[in-house]
Structure 1
Amino acid sequence: MAFVNFFLQLLKDPRSAIAGWITMGVAPTLGFIFIIIFVETGVVFFPFLPGDSLLFAAGFFAAPSASTGQSALPLVALLPVVWCAAVIGDQCNYFIGHFFGRRIIQSGKVKAMTPERVAKTEKMIEKWGALAVFLGRFFPFIRTFMPFISGISGMRWARFTPFSVLGGIVWSTLFTLMGYFFGGIPFVQDHFEVVIVIILLVSLLPTLIGLFKAKFGHKKTPAEAAANPDAESAE
């Protein structure tokens, strides 16, 4: 139960979670941040972890305090930690997919890996190739599934890695610096939980739209398919 409460608190208010870690010291705090980002990215069973909002909250604590001019977390240490967590996590997930992916999917143990999400990830890879690895980094759930599906699909490691490294560094830097520069704004401080929810909703919006279209999108009737066979084959 304590394990579940830990993740619920992290999802609800990452700022309070990091504040609690800081009382234990900078090194443990950086360690916890590394673990959360690594697990979200590198372990296919945990796509629900709040990577975006955690980075934003961490960036907030890296900014100098208006009253003391000191920061609770050194930005020069925080950035390399989140870079390494994202990059190493992708590598881990790629090899999990490469060696065990088919068996994991067939087992049905990853409930979040719905057929719609797998299909959406595979379509991104088919359409964009290795560039999908970079683009997928900015979509929750997709960023967890992308390296996993890349490993299953047979994408070469040498082709996967440059886009994975670039995506991990850009994503982690972007959200950390957003917290660093905007977390100290009075409105953001007074409505921090609301801002976190907005970040989550904006990042989840493309995935939600895709799932909505998959569930409620117009499907051709047999008569429509027979009347327009060329369009059917193009799909």
Structure 2
Amino acid sequence: MDFMQFLDMVIHVDKTLGMVISNYGTQVYVMLFGIIFCETGLVVMPFLPGDSLLFIAGAFCATGAMDMWLLMALLIFAAISGNTVNYWVGKKVGRSVFTKDYAWLDKKALHHTQAFFEKHGGKTITLSRFVPIVRTFAPFVAGVSDMPFGRFQFYNITGGVGWVVSLVVAGYFFGNIPIIRDHLNTIVLLGVCAAIVPIIIGGIWRFYLKVVRSN
């Protein structure tokens, strides 16, 4: 296998995980750790699989190909440490990132995440775990915005644990059902909407009460 074939396998590991396990055995844990760490920790790698990888990995755990508890422990650590690195990179770069042009940075995704962050505040760090692209940029934006590290870590740990456990466990129980496996992204997005809608309604209600009281 040449480098390009290996790279393609890594990028699409959620679709080739069975082959990876057969070829690399227990080294698959290291590979999955690296993928989750890079997807959450490096703003230049939002294209790596996240949700689908966790779900499919859970499905393989159900077949006995991997140990679910070891997998979850490693990937929770990868998700939390990845976000932490991303936060410090954002803090180091600073707000100049919004005015300067960086070849390695997707400005559109950055501004989209900033809008998401301004709308939902610290909860963005938790909610963004379930939103591809946004989850890669959210900790970076938190660092750029000088979000207090303690507050960031609270949402980071909460989101990291919730994201990994929910999708791996869901994959363990439902990953081998074709209709669910084939529509995973839609199911995840519906779950995110279910989490965000109550927040939006609550915000509208608080705004309404504020208007009423001011009158």
Per-residue deviation, residues 44-66 of structure 1 (Å, max 9, x unmatched)? 11011111111111111111x3x
Residues 104, 110 of structure 1: 8 Å contact kept: no
Give the structure with higher Rg (CA): 1
Matches within 5 A, 1:134-213: 134-185=126-177, 187=178, 195=182, 198-200=183-185
Aligned-partner residue type, residue 107 of structure 2: M
Quote the offset at 1:21 in angstroms. Answer: 3.5
**Quick one: structure 1 residues 5 and 202, their matched pair in 2 at CA, closer, same or farther if it must change by over 3 Å?**
farther
Matches within 5 A, 1:42-191: 42-63=41-62, 65=63, 71-102=64-95, 106-114=100-108, 117-185=109-177, 187=178
Aligned-partner residue type, residue 53 of structure 2: L
Which structure 2 segments of 5+ residues have no match?
192-215
Residues 44, 148 of structure 1: 8 Å contact kept: yes
TM-score by length of 2: 0.77
Residues 15, 58 of structure 1: 8 Å contact kept: no
Quote the offset at 1:158 in angstroms. Answer: 0.9
Residues 13, 49 of structure 2: 8 Å contact kept: no
Residues 29, 71 of structure 2: 8 Å contact kept: yes
Give the secondary-structure state (helix, strand or coil) at the position aligned to 1:109: coil
Sequence identity percentage: 34
Task: Give the distance between the partners of 1:133 and 1:157, measured in 2 at CA.
Answer: 12
Per-residue deviation, residues 101-154 of structure 1 (Å, max 9, x unmatched)? 55666242235332xx32332222222221111111111010000000000011
TM-score by length of 1: 0.71
Quote the offset at 1:84 in angstroms. Answer: 0.5
Give the secondary-structure state (helix, strand or coil) at the position aligned to 1:137: helix
How many aligned residue pairs are there? 191
Quote the offset at 1:200 in angstroms. Answer: 3.6
Task: Give the distance between the partners of 1:24 and 1:120, measured in 2 at CA.
Answer: 38
**Quick one: structure 1 residues 203 and 103, their matched pair in 2 at CA, closer, same or farther if it must change by over 3 Å?**
farther
Does residue 35 of the first structure (1) align with residue 34 of the second (2)? yes
Give the secondary-structure state (helix, strand or coil) at the position aligned to 2:36: helix
Task: Give the distance between the partners of 1:51 and 1:140, measured in 2 at CA.
Answer: 7
Q: Over aligned residues, Cα RMSD in angstroms?
A: 2.8
Residues 55, 167 of structure 2: 8 Å contact kept: yes
Give the secondary-structure state (helix, strand or coil) at the position aligned to 1:23: helix
Residues 13, 20 of structure 2: 8 Å contact kept: no
